[in-house]
A and B are shown apart, each in its own frame.
Chain A
Amino acid sequence: LVMKDSSTCLMDVDEACREAGINRHFVRFTSTLRMEDPGPSSKTAEKLLQLIKARLKDWHVQLTDGSISVESVLVKVEGNEDEQKSVYVSWDNQDEELGSYILGLLQTMGQ
């Protein structure tokens, strides 16, 4: 909500910052997990997708180009078929609660 020239309007955060000359500082985290899951990485990603979808029913969870995304949280699986998989979980500071929840969820699954 921005007050400008004695009127009030709703503005996107980025737009409001630009108008006010505030240089935002974006903070992002990436954590890596190792997972024993034989088979192609796309299969692992599919399993993780189902797990996240089952736990986050009210959220918009999608799979695009092999990466799972929910808000700013991105989950990416890498590794060859016969290898241990690396799972990268990254998120913006604003989504700290969601990001650390998903990371914790996948950590439990990997054990």
Chain B
Amino acid sequence: EEALNKKPTNYTWGVLDIDEFIQKITQEGITDAKVEQVASGYIIHLPNEDTLIQVEDSSTHIFCEGDMLLRQKLRTILLQCLNKF
């Protein structure tokens, strides 16, 4: 645990382009995404992966079970779709 980095990696900014995100996860083999528009933004449901992604203008929250590889895959794609500094 001594090797844990206390400094943040990077900060994300901007609005998530839902279409770009869906296209990228589809390319990575996640093909069951269902997008629902709600008052606060969008909810992306991935039923086969037991995952829910809540997207608002200034935030994205990924809810998933304990599958580390799936979460890391979604994280990588999400970060590709957002601006960083």
Contacts and interface: CB of A to CB of B under 8 A. Distances in A.
B5 A97 contact: yes
B12 A31 contact: no
Contacts of A8: none
A7 interface: no
A29 B62 contact: yes
Q: Looking at chain B, what size class is its interface with the partner chain? A: 20 to 34
A96 B1 contact: no
Interface in B26-85: 57-66, 68, 71-72, 75, 78-79, 82-83, 85
B68 A103 contact: yes
A56 B14 CA distance: 33
A98 interface: yes
Contact of A96 (B14, B66, B75): B75
Contact of A104 (B60, B68, B78, B85): B68
B4 A25 contact: no
Given A96-B9, A100-B72, 5 more contacts: A17-B13, A25-B12, A26-B58, A32-B65, A97-B5
Interface of B: 1-2, 4-5, 8-16, 57-66, 68, 71-72, 75, 78-79, 82-83, 85
